[in-house]
Chain A
Amino acid sequence: MSKQPLQSLIHARGLVKRFGDFTAVDGIDLDVAPGEAFGFLGPNGAGKSSTMRMIGCVSMPTAGELRILGMDPVRDGSRIRARLGVCPQLDNLDPDLNVRENLTTYARYFGLSRAEARRRAEELLDFVQLRDRAASQVEPLSGGMKRRLTIARALVNEPELVLLDEPTTGLDPQARHLLWERLFRLKQQGTTLVLTTHYMDEAEQLCDRLVVMDGGRIAAEGSPRSLIETYSTPEVVELRFPDEADYAGKLEGIGRVDPLPDRILLYADDGDAAVAEVHRRGLTPSSVLVRRSSLEDVFLHLTGRTLVD
């Protein structure tokens, strides 16, 4: 079999997943190129995990076309999975095996020899900085350590494509930054990453390209920068007022206005100029913050909702 260079590691057209009458994924198109870091961003229930599970060949598409690594998940599921690394949204580590055994046991599922399994386990213990917990049971580990172990486990077969479903949810900032750094290293080694996240900063840090999912559909697609350029303004002014009066109306004309329960967002090309205009209109917000626009704003604009609830 000749190995042709693949244009898309993941190729989906009109991909649908239904659970009974409920449509979790509603006809999405995707293409992920080798070496890319690709993200799914979306609120709870958007269909991110359902999509990831189809890509990971553990859930069968209800309709549409899906090819992973150029193969058909239904026919070649096992051969595809051999080349994937999967970090599921919920850890499913073996609580009665210790940290090292979790890695070696999993490595054996991929057909690695015992010696190779041990070698990989040692490498990965260092990679996720769990060396000093190698002989520890899994149960007493902190949530962040378990997450790191799950990610290490996903890498045990040196996968070409790594699927990470909310890799850093529940981690403290320090653990999250460590993981980002590790994932970035993987990417530099040429591994293709696909991840889901609720965190805008994570998506901006890690993803070359991302889709915003909502209600099973793709609401927007592009690089973090291009999404911000398309769906937001370079700067955002966050205004808080001491009372509940209708300030949104009084801000009309300065820029797009988005009233949130606790603050009002004002989208502007030049934040300082917008603030000057607010003051010129005689408004006296109790606090003013000018910041660069982020994916959060894109998300808010596209779905009318904040991302982390």
Chain B
Amino acid sequence: MAHPTVAVLERHLHLYRRLWRASVFSSFILPVLFLVSIGIGVGNYVGEIGGVTYLAWIVPGVMASTAFQMAVGESTYSVLGDFKWVRAYHAMRATPVGIRDMVAGWMLYVLLRVVIAAVVFLGVTGLFGALLSPWAVVTPLVAALVAVAAAAPVTAFAASIDNDSYFALLFRFVMIPSTLFAGVFFPVEELPGQIRPLAYLSPLWHGVELSRAATLGGAPPWPVAVHAGFLLLFAAAGLAWAVFAFRKRLQD
């Protein structure tokens, strides 16, 4: 018998089948174009960072930030819409599907999307010769961790609000700063000392450092367990919040 979580995942995949063509550009082509233009174009001016080409240096960052942006982007309007306009979760509520199944099914869907994009990205950047260590194969796992750490709290946020204008705040004050100050394009050591702690709070920074250590074959700034632990903690807290937010929204 199919687990209800799987049934929820299937529903999202079913819907994605209608949209996948549109998402190919943003999930697969855009990151690569971005990489080529920044990595090779800007790279000519920047030269090397930490003894590697700028392209090799930003590949892991772009991969983690693509995972982050996909996870956040997917978890905004889709989640709010399934409560507010489609009422898909209200429909599920009348079946044996539980709140945890709804959250888990959604997270699996986001994970699947992100991991597939990460694997494709890994393949393409491998062809560019931008992966310097065999440890690069673990980067999709890091992307997955980043995805849950980002998607879970954003999903919870989307399930808590009633108006999509809150998303503008989320993009402006959370998403963009955490992308800019997360060591994707330049090392966080170059940030002013007062801003640097913000980077440490961003799950993306931990993901970027783990990915970079993997593709360049070095050690991340903090112990791997601390980076990974932070991401796991963020993910766990986000999931708990999401379950709470779904339950609150569906009860009355």
Q: Are A109 and B18 in contact (CB under 8 A)?
A: no
Rounded to whole Å, the gap between the CB of B3 and the closest CB of chain A is 8
Interface of A is mostly: loop
User: Would you call A106 and B95 a contact (CB within 8 A)?
Assistant: yes
For the side of the interface on A, what is the size category? 20 to 34
Mark contacts of A104-116 with chain B using CB atoms, 8 A cut-off: 1 yes-contact digit, 0 otherwise.
0110111111100
Quick check: is B86 within 8 A (CB to CB) of the other chain?
Answer: yes
A59 within 8 A of B: yes
Q: How many Å lie between the Cα of A95 and that of B15 in the bound state?
A: 10
Looking at the complex, which of B6-14, B53-61, B114-122, B129-137 is the stretch in contact with chain A? B6-14
Chain A nearest CB, measured from B21 CB (Å) = 14
Q: Could you say which residues of chain B place their CB within 8 Å of the CB of A96?
A: 15, 18, 86
Is B15's CB under 8 angstroms from A110's CB? no
Report if A59-B251 is in contact (Cβ < 8 Å); known contacts: A82-B96, A101-B14, A112-B2.
yes
Question: CB < 8 Å: which of B7, B88, B94 contacts A108?
Answer: B7
Contact across chains for B91 and A58 when beta carbons are under 8 A apart: no
Say if the beta carbon of B196 comes within 8 Å of chain A: no
User: B249 contacts the other chain (Cβ, under 8 Å)?
Assistant: no
- Interface status of B4 (Cβ within 8 A of chain A): yes
A111 close to B2 (CB less than 8 A)? yes
Q: Are B15 and A109 in contact (CB under 8 A)?
A: no
What residue of chain A has the Cβ atom nearest to residue B98's Cβ? A78
Q: Is B191 an interface residue (CB 8 A)?
A: no
For residue A73, CB closer than 8 A to chain B, the reply is no
Shortest Cβ distance from residue A245 to the other chain B in the assembled complex, whole angstroms: 50
Assuming the contacts A78-B98, A97-B15, A105-B10, asked whether A58 and B2 have C-beta atoms less than 8 A apart, the reply is: no
Which chain A residues border B87 with CB–CB below 8 Å?
90, 92
Q: How far is the CA of A108 from the CA of B2 in the complex (A)?
A: 7
Q: Which residues of B contact A58 (CB under 8 A)?
A: 90, 93-94, 250
Q: Does B15 lie within 8 Å of A111, measured CB to CB?
A: no
Give the CA-CA distance A97 to B15 in the complex, in Å: 7
What residue of chain A has the Cβ atom nearest to residue B87's Cβ? A92
In the complex, which residues 57-95 of chain A have their Cβ closer than 8 Å to any Cβ of chain B?
A: 58-60, 78-79, 81-82, 84, 86, 88, 90, 92-95
Among A95, A97, A111, contact of B7 (Cβ-Cβ < 8 Å): A111
B174 vs chain A, min Cβ distance (A): 28
Q: Is B251 a contact partner of A108 (Cβ separation < 8 A)?
A: no
Inter-subunit contact B2/A97 (CB<8 Å) = no
Nearest Cβ in chain A — how far from B20, in angstroms?
13
Q: How far is the CB of A27 from chain B (nearest CB, A)?
A: 19
A90 to B85, CA, bound (A): 12
Confirm or deny: B92 has a beta carbon within 8 angstroms of a beta carbon on chain A: yes
> Are B11 and A111 interface neighbours, CB within 8 A?
no
A19 interface hit (Cβ, 8 Å) = yes
Nearest A residue to B85 by beta-carbon distance?
Answer: A95
CA distance A153 to B68 in the complex (A): 37
B6: min CB distance to chain A, Å? 8
Which chain A positions have C-beta within 8 A of B127? none
A105 to B17, CA, bound (A): 14
13 more CB-based (< 8 A) A-B contacts, given A97-B14, A105-B10, A109-B4: A53-B252, A56-B94, A58-B93, A58-B250, A92-B86, A95-B86, A96-B86, A101-B14, A109-B95, A111-B2, A111-B7, A111-B96, A157-B95
Q: Please list 14 pairs of residues, one from A and one from B, whose beta carbons are closer than 8 Å in the complex, sorted by A's number.
A: A79-B96, A81-B96, A88-B90, A92-B86, A92-B87, A94-B86, A94-B88, A97-B11, A105-B10, A109-B7, A109-B96, A110-B96, A111-B3, A111-B96
Which A positions have Cβ atoms within 8 angstroms of B? 19, 53, 56, 58-60, 78-79, 81-82, 84, 86, 88, 90, 92-97, 101, 105-106, 108-114, 157
Which of B's residues lie within 8 Å of A, judged by CB? 1-4, 6-8, 10-11, 14-15, 18, 86-88, 90-98, 250-252
